[in-house]
Amino acid sequence: MPIRGPALRQPLVGVQGVMTIVCGKYFVLSDYVVDSLMRENSDSRDDLNIQQISCVRGGNSPANTMPSPYERLQAKPQTGLNIGSLTPTQRSEVRTLRITSSWPIGPNSIDCRTIYYLEGDEQAAVELFVEEHRDQLEEIDWTKRNPIKSSLSQVIYDKILHELGERRISKTETMVREDRPNGDVWLIDRKWYENRPDRRYSVTPHKSAPKVAKLAGQSPENVLKEIDSEIITESAVRSYVEGDKRLLLEYLRTSDKIACLPITHDGEMAVKLFPDQSTAVRENSEEQGTQ
């Protein structure tokens, strides 16, 4: 019969040769020992209420009261976990965030702990990975080949960069926007972004449809502020955009920060800002500048 330590207000010591009971621990005791404890600690009888004692006969050990590896994974991603005790079904749900490549990064070599998590907990796993390795990760030049990129899926890699603040990612129905610390903004067709990560940052126009646009040191809000016109045409944004110019107009059309209507102006693809949009553009531009 195990006794739950927190039910006791003082340790119970040395009854019939039994070791000290420490609050917060579970010990398997025979009925005889329980009776002895209650007799010798009559002042604590109320705290030894049998309703608070979980009866487990047959010699269960204190370790059985600890969460299993699978229960720990259900709570949150883990490091240093022994998954050998998991059932085949449980093991099939386990995923790992593990860096399999290694080479010097700056003055040091990157050495990352494996993160174990359950399928669907990718974001929490990334947050733990960044928390555990932030100092090493901040030394990486993310514009070059690195062990993180070569070891992980593109989805997890993107989440790590977002968590580190190297890329601030936002999405519209058809577009993905990436803001970089150097002020560059990438506008990428969403399907292309998700299906062709190997060509994600190629600004060479694709023959079938616009895919990628880069604004060097500019945000879309700043571009609108500089153009300062109610009608924004493809030719008007040409000098600001490297790659497919139409993607900036598509981003404006689908962004919930920019109120506008798609139109054709003098035979060109364009958008028309709502009359009060100039104020909103200035506010968005100032907000981008403070981030």
Give the pLDDT confidence score for residue 175 in this predicted structure: 94
**Helix (H) / strand (E) containing 163:** helix 154-164
**Helix (H) / strand (E) containing 164:** helix 154-164
More reliable by pLDDT, 177 or 104: 177
Give the pLDDT mean for 158-168: 89
Q: Is the full-model pTM beyond 0.75?
A: no
Name the nearest CA neighbour of 251 among 224, 230, 276. 224
Give the pLDDT confidence score for residue 17 in this predicted structure: 38
Give the pLDDT confidence score for residue 86 in this predicted structure: 93
Residue % of the chain over a pLDDT of 90: 42
Domains in the chain: boundaries: 2-65, 67-166, 174-291
- Asked if residue 137 has pLDDT above 50, the reply is yes
Identify the top-confidence range among 92-96, 162-166, 258-262: 92-96
Give the pLDDT mean for 266-270: 92
Give the pLDDT mean for 199-217: 79
| Domain 174-291 in CATH 1.10.10 | yes
The tens digit of pLDDT for each residue in 164-185 reads 888 889 999 999 999 998 899 9
Give the pLDDT mean for 77-96: 94
In terms of C-beta distances under 8 Å and separation of at least 24 residues, what long-range contacts does 266-271 make, across chains too?
266/233, 268/233, 268/234, 268/235, 269/233, 269/234, 270/231, 270/232, 270/233, 270/234, 271/231, 271/232
More reliable by pLDDT, 167 or 106: 167
Give the pLDDT mean for 100-104: 65
Largest CA distance in the chain: 98
Give the pLDDT mean for 52-71: 58
Banded model confidence at residue 269, pLDDT cuts 50, 70, 90: very high
Give the pLDDT mean for 213-238: 93
Give the pLDDT mean for 235-240: 94
- Asked if residue 105 has pLDDT above 60, the reply is no
Distance, in Å, from the CA atom of 187 to the CA atom of 263, rounded to the nearest integer, reads 20
* Residue count (the chain): 291
More reliable by pLDDT, 279 or 110: 110
Token pair listed for 175: 């577009």
Give the pLDDT confidence score for residue 198 in this predicted structure: 74
- DSSP 8-state assignment for residue 7: G
Give the pLDDT mean for 44-58: 40
Give the pLDDT mean for 213-241: 93
- 130: CB partners within 8 A, 6+ apart: 137, 160, 163, 164
Give the pLDDT mean for 214-233: 93
CB 117 within 8 A of CB 124: yes
Give the pLDDT confidence score for residue 223 in this predicted structure: 94
Residue 87, Cβ density class (10 Å: 0-12 exposed, 13-18 middle, ≥19 buried): exposed
CB 142 within 8 A of CB 98: no
Give the pLDDT confidence score for residue 33 in this predicted structure: 43
